[in-house]
Amino acid sequence: GNSVTQMEGPVTLSEEAFLTINCTYTATGYPSLFWYVQYPGEGLQLLLKATKADDKGSNKGFEATYRKETTSFHLEKGSVQVSDSAVYFCALSDVGNGGTSYGKLTFGQGTILTVHP
């Protein structure tokens, strides 16, 4: 079945540091890949996505590139802020069953990011 593996956390950085959160996946076919963010006490928000190989998703200074050859979708940001402190989830979506479902999301375990001033 499908699976997503994220780097172990938590990750603690100083403001303006470079961030990388690793994500690798196992899936049949050509899944779409996502990063969701969960701020304290809130629900899941889509951060960025990529739907095919070599696509780069980007939003709010975060980027991730869909690498089919390494089955990876690592999240990067050049200069983190205190406000980026949150839990980050990598996820994939498959086509689902007979085309009538747009497919469940399979999530990684989440990485807690804490950014200190």
Partner 1 sequence: EPEVTQTPSHQVTQMGQEVILRCVPISNHLYFYWYRQILGQKVEFLVSFYNNEISEKSEIFDDQFSVERPDGSNFTLKIRSTKLEDSAMYFCASIWSGKTQYFGPGTRLLVL
> Where do contacts with partner 1 occur on this chain (CB under 8 A)?
32, 34, 36, 42-46, 49, 51, 89, 91, 93, 96-97, 100-110
Which is nearer to partner 1, 81 or 101 (by Cβ)? 101
8 Å CB contact between 91 and 38: no
Least Å from the CB of residue 61 to partner 1: 20
As a whole number of angstroms, the distance between CA 16 and CA 13 comes to 8
Side chain identity at residue 88, one-letter code? Y
Which is nearer to partner 1, 40 or 117 (by Cβ)? 40
Which is nearer to partner 1, 18 or 39 (by Cβ)? 39
Could you give phi then psi for residue 86, rounded to 5 degrees? -175, 180
Least Å from the CB of residue 54 to partner 1: 17
As a whole number of angstroms, the distance between CA 47 and CA 99 comes to 26
